[in-house]
Amino acid sequence: MVAVTAQYPFGIFPHFHGNSRLLSPETEFCTVNFPSRVEYSRFILHPKGHVAEVHSLPHVGDFTGENEATPILDAIESPMSLKNLSTKELKQLANEVRSELSFIMAKAQKPSRSSLTAVELSVAIHHVFNAPMDKILWDVAEQTYAHKLLTGRRQIMQTLGEQNGHPVAAPDFESEFDPFGSGHGCNSISAGLGLAVARDFKGKRDRVVAVINNETTMAGQVYEAMSNAGYLDSNMIVILNDSQHSLHPKLEEASKTPINALSSTLSKLQSSKLFRRFRELAKVLTKKIGKGMYEWAAKVDEYARGMIGPPGSTLFEELGLYYIGPVDGHNIEDLVCVLNEVASLDSMGPVLVHVITKEELEVGDNQMNAVANEIMEGASSSNTKPCGTRTYSDCFVEALISEAERHKDIVAVHAGMGMEPSLHLLKNVFAEKFFDVGMAEQHAVTFAAGLARGGLKPFCIIPSAFLQRAYDQVIHDVDRQKVPVRFIITSAGLVGSDGPMHCGAFDIAFMSCLPNMIVMAPSDEVELSHMVATAALIDDRPVCFRYPRGALSVMEKSFGGGIPIEVGRGRILTEGKDIALLGYGSMVQNCLRAQLLLSKFGIEVTVADARFCKPLDIKLLRHLCKNHSFLVTVEEGSIGGFASHVAQFLSLDGQLDAGIKWRPITLPDNYIEQASPKEQLAVAGLTGNHIAATALSLLGRTREALLLMC
């Protein structure tokens, strides 16, 4: 047996127990950083290739180390403080920002590499441009941390990841230095173009800078915005922070953009005012000459720039953006030189500056090594059981791999930002049957539909918040055509430290309103395995099920494959005569907690697991209404979801007229900010105590309900 333990956030450390036929002796392990929303994971694999158990290790204790001195950063109160710094001082500032960020991210136990790629770039941007007069927009929130340190929010950043602290991935809407929220990425060029056009209408002269990265260039909105920017020809600067990520299955074979003295010189030449003026003059002269001279000169220019530029650079030119690059993103001197030239250009239209950075760039000081060692020692010394803490994602991977043993046509498609460790395991086991398309959710949905039409059984794995971007494809390419795509909606409901940005509040509502979609949600890991088996057998229409982020409420050891359940059939877990609680998905567990609380008040409670939002179990609902005077439905979703379908049935079936008193408990009609999962559930009114208090209030026992909430 092989046990592979992922020690987040510093990498993978393999531990071998006995011999393995699954991993060869030549297997090499490299350091891999996992997404911030995932904690530690432990994978136990059988030699036959299927998963026996997938676990998450307990959370490591808080880091209490101290950061090194940062004299220049300490003196930075606003971006204006950077204006008079020399190149040497800017380099020192970048080192201090890098050290500070590494310390903050290590303390918050979050991966730091994505945020560290933009350190020198952030320093150079604020040295050259005049924020907040100049508008600086970012595509990905994780890359704004250096920007926030330099714009007077250092104290706020110190609370990153803490309860009631700064959100891990969120814009600061109240800051004048953040003109637009980053959302899920790929929106900065569109928003920046809107700001640029508004500026032109009002006759202002401020500059607009949109910073994107190569992960977000997988999304179509980026190219739509670039094309429109080229057509409108408004002055704006797009900076591509290329950390050389790749979805290529063999990273060593993926093309890399070289950075050397020649590329640096050419980038400075391309950005120089003299070269740009000469190029514009050549355009004017060739147009006056006529006889196809302008078109011929444009082709020569394109071919010449394509030969000296990196692969794909002419794409931006075709879209109407003047390409400059590549530029070394960790060379302050080159960055300042190029950005100064670009900032001085007026009436030149949109410009794209291609900046190359490296995610593997680490802080080399002993202090940060101490951080890593302390966290690793904490992980190794923690009193962990072999079974550890399991997540829904762990169990889903386990169930899908088991199901794939029976159905050879099962394939997996993943979209979104990053992958959870358990999905990395699924990718390794499925090999060529696993397709990761990155931040291309629209493509992922239609691609999965094509796979289904070709006779395969695609499981399309997309986080709830990211599935929103592919809703048109879900409607027209899947549901309207009744294509049997199986949607696995991860990170459903509240997501703790990621706050409202990645909250999966709306999928129940927007998936259950589709005419042909089967919508279900498991209440525990056993039900999850059953729903994987059920989805694998549905071949005449699309189906989806959701599961939340985080640890399971019901801790059980590894189990075999799931058993298909009847579509549209719920189940009763406990029976009582006073009131019925009908839970959907993970909220069934909180209904059971409420039942235990209410039993102490002498109240007999029926707890039912709806399983399906669509189609509803009509027999179950009628049974609950017939045998109870009071009904409460509970879901971790927005208004318009499961409760709306229940209300529709109760009203049309005459149950409300017959006297049933019904109360829905859903997420409130507002965004819930970052907090611990328990705190968020309390704010939403979805804890066992809140459910029990609602039941007591419905029964007319208001005093006891108030006492329960004290």
Q: Does 137 score more than 70 pLDDT? A: yes
Rounded-to-integer distance, Cα 411 and Cα 459, Å: 6
Q: Does 514 score more than 60 pLDDT? A: yes
- Token pair, residue 610, equals 């709806």
- Token pair, residue 140, equals 């990905």
Q: Which residues make Cβ contacts (< 8 Å) with residue 638, sequence separation at least 6? A: 505, 506, 508, 509, 666, 667, 669
- Position 185 scores a pLDDT of 76
- Position 262 scores a pLDDT of 58
The answer to the question of residue 9 being in a domain is no
Tell me the pLDDT tens digit for each residue of 266-299.
666 666 666 666 666 666 666 667 666 666 666 6
Q: How many CB atoms lie within 10 A of CB 12?
A: 19
Alpha-helix runs per DSSP H in 243-331: 261-271, 273-289, 293-308, 313-318
Q: Which of 684, 252, 655 is nearest to 495 (CA)?
A: 684
**Average pLDDT rounded to a whole number, residues 488-509:** 92
For 528, the domain range is 392-546
**Average pLDDT rounded to a whole number, residues 368-378:** 40
Tell me the pLDDT tens digit for each residue of 180-196.
887 677 889 999 999 99
Residue-wise DSSP of 81-118: GGTT--HHHHHHHHHHHHHHHHHHHHHTT---HHHHTT
Q: Does 592 score more than 80 pLDDT? A: yes
CATH of the domain at 583: 3.40.50.920
- Token pair, residue 112, equals 């730091």
State residue 693 phi and psi, 5-degree precision. Answer: -65, -40
- Position 387 scores a pLDDT of 42
Alpha-helix runs per DSSP H in 309-440: 313-318, 332-343, 366-381, 392-406, 421-430
Residue 171 preceded by cis peptide, ω within 30: no
Q: Is 633 left (phi over 0), alpha (psi -120 to 50) or beta?
A: beta
- Position 360 scores a pLDDT of 58
Do 647 and 588 belong together in one domain?
yes
The answer to the question of residue 349 being in a domain is yes
Q: Which residues make Cβ contacts (< 8 Å) with residue 538, sequence separation at least 6? A: 484, 486, 518, 567
Element (H, E) at 664: strand 661-665
DSSP 250: S
- Position 421 scores a pLDDT of 84
Do 602 and 675 belong together in one domain?
yes
Q: Which of 588, 557, 552 is nearest to 573 (CA)?
A: 588
- Position 446 scores a pLDDT of 97
Rounded to 5, what percent of the chain is helix, strand, coil?
A: 45, 15, 40
The answer to the question of residue 602 being in a domain is yes
Q: Which of 441, 436, 416 is nearest to 424 (CA)?
A: 436
Alpha-helix runs per DSSP H in 577-670: 587-599, 618-627, 642-652
Q: Which of 357, 379, 413 is where one domain is finished?
A: 357
Let me know: does 21 contact 355? Beta carbons within 8 Å.
Answer: no
DSSP 41: E
Q: Is the dihedral of CA 582, 586, 592, 598 positive or negative?
A: negative
- Position 270 scores a pLDDT of 64
- The whole-model pTM stands at 0.79
- Token pair, residue 608, equals 């039912």
- Position 420 scores a pLDDT of 84
- Position 358 scores a pLDDT of 85
Q: In what order do the strands lie in the sheet with 51-55?
A: 11-16, 2-7, 41-45, 51-55
- Position 68 scores a pLDDT of 72
Tell me the pLDDT tens digit for each residue of 381-412.
333 333 457 889 999 999 999 999 999 999 99
- Position 169 scores a pLDDT of 47
- Position 345 scores a pLDDT of 73
Tell me the pLDDT tens digit for each residue of 535-574.
999 999 999 999 998 777 655 555 667 899 999 999 999 9
Q: Which residues make Cβ contacts (< 8 Å) with residue 600, sequence separation at least 6? A: none
Cα→Cα distances 469→183, 246, 485, 487, Å: 11, 22, 17, 14
pLDDT band per the 50, 70, 90 thresholds, residue 114: confident
Do 350 and 398 belong together in one domain?
no
Which one is predicted more confidently, 384 or 136? 136
The answer to the question of residue 617 being in a domain is yes
Do 349 and 427 belong together in one domain?
no
Q: Which of 496, 485, 489, 560 is nearest to 521 (CA)?
A: 489
Q: Which of 314, 355, 352 is nearest to 334 (CA)?
A: 355
The answer to the question of residue 86 being in a domain is yes
Mean pLDDT, the chain, integer: 81
**Average pLDDT rounded to a whole number, residues 200-226:** 89
Do 511 and 633 belong together in one domain?
no
Q: Which of 226, 241, 151 is nearest to 196 (CA)?
A: 226
Do 418 and 530 belong together in one domain?
yes
Q: Which of 366, 342, 365, 364 is nearest to 355 (CA)?
A: 342
The answer to the question of residue 439 being in a domain is yes
Do 213 and 327 belong together in one domain?
yes
Do 201 and 242 belong together in one domain?
yes
Residue-wise DSSP of 208-249: EEEEEETTGGGSHHHHHHHHHHHHHT--EEEEEEE------S
Tell me the pLDDT tens digit for each residue of 657-691.
988 999 999 999 999 988 888 999 999 999 999 99
Q: Which of 357, 381, 409 is where one domain is finished?
A: 357
Do 91 and 151 belong together in one domain?
yes
- Position 669 scores a pLDDT of 95
- Token pair, residue 107, equals 């303390």
Angle at 449 between CA 448 and CA 450, to 5 degrees: 90
The answer to the question of residue 12 being in a domain is no
Tell me the pLDDT tens digit for each residue of 2-45.
344 333 333 333 333 333 333 333 333 343 333 333 333 444 44
Judged by average pLDDT, the poorest of 68-72, 576-580, 637-641 is 68-72
- Token pair, residue 75, equals 């003196």
What is the domain count for the chain?
3
Percent of all residues in the chain with a pLDDT value above 70, rounded to a whole number: 73
Which residues make beta-bridge pairs with 41? Answer: 6
- Position 377 scores a pLDDT of 39
Cα→Cα distances 573→169, 566, 588, 605, Å: 38, 17, 9, 10
Do 458 and 339 belong together in one domain?
no
Q: Does 333 score more than 80 pLDDT? A: yes
Q: Which of 303, 310, 317 is nearest to 230 (CA)?
A: 317
Do 603 and 482 belong together in one domain?
no
CATH of the domain at 506: 3.40.50.970
Judged by average pLDDT, the poorest of 302-311, 445-454, 536-545, 676-685 is 302-311
Q: End-to-end distance of the chain based on CA atoms, in angstroms?
A: 50
- Position 280 scores a pLDDT of 65
Do 623 and 485 belong together in one domain?
no
- Position 367 scores a pLDDT of 44
Let me know: does 636 contact 686? Beta carbons within 8 Å.
Answer: yes
- Token pair, residue 186, equals 């790929």
Rounded-to-integer distance, Cα 213 and Cα 684, Å: 35
The answer to the question of residue 23 being in a domain is no
Q: Which residues make Cβ contacts (< 8 Å) with residue 617, sequence separation at least 6? A: 568, 569, 570, 610, 611
